[in-house]
Structure 1
């Protein structure tokens, strides 16, 4: 019985190892809980607020998912945090028309640039509900700030999750690049091929028919020969 479980564990380990090798061979690696493409194994981070809380949280996500943060360069993919915004709307009211429940919104706009391929802009949004209580105004103020911090942290996780979806985008860009190169090769090949009837050389011979002309002086009879 023990030998059976040992064999089963060995087969399971071999299956996991084989799956890992297959995934690595395809150009993707598991980093943290997401499968991120190799193109962003090294990534530079720029931000509208280089020392803000959101920037620090995204850097922490880099470390968590094994992404090496490097200085910005023309040859390195870049994640740029464009802006963040907070909003709220009233969901319900007390009998005295005072707001009782709010919906808090937190949005982040960012762009990802892959050298020699493309630059795309994305956005992520986090929504939470908040129940206000005028009798505990101070405690509710602290709670609101804590909720905003949690929303900001969740947004940083969602950014990494959306980056994992870049796989399809990169593959599409690679296909477009390949198709463009093939089309360029076809155009070059068509230009190099000779056009029928334009490059052939012709040896033309000009034939001049000459006729012997006899000059007859005036007063001279022209005789006709009898057959």
Structure 2
């Protein structure tokens, strides 16, 4: 039974990812900035109120997972956020916030778990990037730049870990079908928005034995599912 960490685990996507790994027979630790989840995590543990922009907090979370589950086999970095703002209406503050939420959380948790993952057979890191970071639309500069940092972390870390048994990949979803996105875009055609459960299956695959030959890949996920 593998030990899985899902950051941002109390949110819509994080919960779906946790569900998918539990269905595969794994034990899941959900880590989130929110204090408590809205649903149960059978067989796993939940760590709420964790600020993953703080490297020390991420290290403590990794220690708690080791104490509870005896290891870390897979890290899925879901934690992040979104903001739309043009440069004329904003400035460095929104860029810094996006970088902290999307890139720094990913770096901090990965750094904390890395010594364990690189010593574990069949380990995997899966990051959540964004299709929107490939070509940034109006108002998407800060968000796209922060997710592009996740993409480059994925590529560089995969190169750094050549010779270990830990793979590093990222999924790049288009619009994810969440209640928040539907509220923000009430007139949009949602037929091809990516379902959280479908994206979760891609993540589970990238962490599976079937995907051991893949590392450093940025995988677009663009169909409704």
TM-score normalised over the length of structure 2: 0.32
TM-score (norm 1): 0.32
Greater strand share, structure number: 1
Higher RCO, Cα 8 Å, sep 6+: 2
